[in-house]
Structure 1
Amino acid sequence: MRASREPGPPTDGVRSRWRRRVAGLRAGLLRLRGTAEERFPVITRLTSHLIAVNLLDSATRLAAQAFLTAVPLLFLVAAFAPQGVRNQIVTSVHDVLGISGAADQQLKQVYQADPATLQQSTGVVSALMVLLSATACSRAMQRLCQRAWLMPSAGARVAAWRWPVWIAVWMAVIALQGPLRDGFGVGTWLGLPLLLAVEVGVWWWTQHLLLAARVPWLPLLPGAVLTAVALTALTVIAKLYVPTALNRSLDRYGSLGAVFTVLSWLIALCVVVALCITAGAVIAREPAVSRRLGSPDQPNSLET
């Protein structure tokens, strides 16, 4: 009886064939990369810039700070704002997110409560602490803008007053979302372009303010336009996704489910904001665009 032969190691010919295939694949990928860099330099520069900015980390931090800012401010406005302002915020939230059902009832429960009762539970000291802590969201947005433009941090004395101003302006913009979308009663045909124009203006101003005016106005325009267009489109999608997801989470998991849904949506919004502002900075520094906008030179390294 013949002894069975054990399968031996791969022959030298098989090994050499695999080496040639791997080398050929690597060479093909390098050629593809070189072609992409030659034909689409903006895309390759944007990709490397997004890696340097650490997009997901910046967006997640911004979303967390926005959530931690929004919830206390929700109760603060309900406690101290006039009834007309509170009603306007409810209307704006309806127009932006299209909430209904259980989520709508919870929102109205907060904003239709007795202000005196809310003021007793909130207190002046708590209100001041909420306002001070709200600047953490401003600082997160400032870090995002600085990373996008590869700029060092501005000194606290220069930047500190800008944080509460940014929060105050954005609270006013959020409260006016309803009238803007309706064109102040004229109709959606006027409201949508008006809303887009306001969004461009606010994001343009946001970058200029939080960068401490270290970048001229014109180079900031591409990022403002990209962000405004993307967020306007996302608010349309929000009406299709957020109400159903929010009510389902409330029914299944209670308030914790609503927290998860809102935070997930905020992360998506902040990823879009981070991507658009960073893309705007890259576009503004393209040679052809930079000559027209007067963009500042790109530093050699990212400082934070």
Structure 2
Amino acid sequence: MLAAVPRRLRPQAALILGNRAGDLLLRTAGELFRVQIFDRSMTLAAQAFTSIFPLLIMLGALAGHRARDELDEVLQVPDSSARLIDEALSGSRSNAFGVVGSLIVIVSATGLARALTRSYRAIWSESGRRAGPAATAWQIGTILLLVLFMVGARTLAWVSGLLPAPHVTGAVLTLVADFALAVLLPRILLGPGLPRARLLVSGLIFGAAMIGVRSVGTVYLPRALQASADRYGTIGLAFTYIGWLYVLSFCLLLCAVAGSVLTGHRTGSEEP
């Protein structure tokens, strides 16, 4: 709605909202409209579901029963669905994937990295890396980084529980981890030419925003997963996960847009 305000009326709208804050708000709204954040967030959520989860399942099948227990904790699935997943993975031998099968799963997961690249290009009007084997290698590294981040979140929770003031320590550790992730993703996908201020501001906003999002998620996600499993069975988990991944994707892109606006970046034409 704010992006639809005619240009001749934007100064008056900015005065109503407060000069600096109003200008930032109008520019942010305009950028959100330009990059089509709702469509791109849905694309990222779907790609994340079909990219990261097969990798986690593959790792669970290859690593054995103990790793499957860790997988259940990472995914936060209800007990009934966890038993179904364990039975399915127990029936799959580790050599069912093999080297070729594992490579296919990893390479196919680069669809998420390409979707992220297109989103960052649209937000920051950066060309990024040229297509080729090197770019594919960076994309594979990005997906592995996301998987490592999901698994490492459990380790951070365990470490914070051993330190004084675990709630405060946990919030600080997750803020640092989320900040690092939001900085590394565009840096890896688009290359080293990005302005440092834009990366740092976007990462800091994302890290701070995720403190609240994670707090909501710890309450909402287990209950939503249990309700979906009770009502629709295991397939209901997919709907809930995609919805939650949409929220995370929206936050990631929103913070990238906010960082771009706050650092005074002026965009040109939108990337396809």
TM-score range, shorter chain: 0.7 to 0.9
d(CA) in 2 for partners of 1:145 and 1:75?
28
- TM-score, normalised to structure 2, is 0.84
Which residue of the other structure, out of 186, 192, 202, is the alignment partner of 2:162?
A: 186
Residue 61 of structure 2 contacts residue 68 of structure 2 at CA under 8 Å; is this kept in 1? Answer: no
In structure 1, stretches of 5+ residues that fail to align are 1-25, 286-296
Shift of the alpha carbon at 1:217? 2.3
Which residue of the other structure, out of 39, 43, 54, is the alignment partner of 1:61?
A: 43
Which residue of the other structure, out of 61, 72, 86, is the alignment partner of 1:79?
A: 61
* Structure 1 residues 88 and 249: CA distance shift in structure 2, 3 A: closer
Residue 208 of structure 1 contacts residue 216 of structure 1 at CA under 8 Å; is this kept in 2? Answer: no
3-state SS, counterpart of residue 303 of structure 1: coil
* Structure 1 residues 108 and 196: CA distance shift in structure 2, 3 A: farther
Name the structure 1 match of 2:114: 139
Which residue of the other structure, out of 126, 147, 156, is the alignment partner of 2:101?
A: 126
CA RMSD across the alignment: 2.7
Name the structure 2 match of 1:45: 27
* Structure 1 residues 118 and 233: CA distance shift in structure 2, 3 A: farther
Shift of the alpha carbon at 1:255? 2.5
Name the structure 2 match of 1:292: none
Which residue of the other structure, out of 195, 202, 206, is the alignment partner of 2:181?
A: 202
Which residue of the other structure, out of 233, 249, 252, is the alignment partner of 1:273?
A: 252
Corresponding position: 1:284 with 2:263: yes
Q: How many residues are matched?
A: 260
Give the counterpart letter for 1:125 in structure 2: V
- TM-score, normalised to structure 1, is 0.76
In structure 2, stretches of 5+ residues that fail to align are 1-5
Bigger CA radius of gyration: 1
d(CA) in 2 for partners of 1:105 and 1:226?
38
Shift of the alpha carbon at 1:32? 4.9
Residue identity over aligned pairs, in percent, reads 25
* Structure 1 residues 78 and 34: CA distance shift in structure 2, 3 A: closer
Residue 249 of structure 1 contacts residue 258 of structure 1 at CA under 8 Å; is this kept in 2? Answer: yes
Q: Which moved more, 1:53-62 or 1:261-270?
A: 261-270
* Structure 1 residues 37 and 121: CA distance shift in structure 2, 3 A: same
Residue 149 of structure 1 contacts residue 281 of structure 1 at CA under 8 Å; is this kept in 2? Answer: yes
d(CA) in 1 for partners of 2:258 and 2:30?
11
Shift of the alpha carbon at 1:105? 3.6
Shift of the alpha carbon at 1:236? 1.7
1:51-98 residue CA offsets vs partner (Å, 9 max, x unmatched): 11110111111111001112311221112236665544444444xxxx
Name the structure 2 match of 1:9: none
Shift of the alpha carbon at 1:50? 0.9
d(CA) in 1 for partners of 2:183 and 2:42?
22
d(CA) in 1 for partners of 2:254 and 2:64?
37
3-state SS, counterpart of residue 258 of structure 1: helix
* Structure 1 residues 153 and 205: CA distance shift in structure 2, 3 A: closer
Residue 203 of structure 1 contacts residue 224 of structure 1 at CA under 8 Å; is this kept in 2? Answer: yes
d(CA) in 1 for partners of 2:108 and 2:161?
36
Corresponding position: 1:168 with 2:144: yes
Corresponding position: 1:303 with 2:271: yes
Which residue of the other structure, out of 99, 102, 114, is the alignment partner of 2:80?
A: 102
Give the counterpart letter for 2:141 in structure 1: V
Q: Give the 5 Å matches for 1:17-32.
A: 32=12
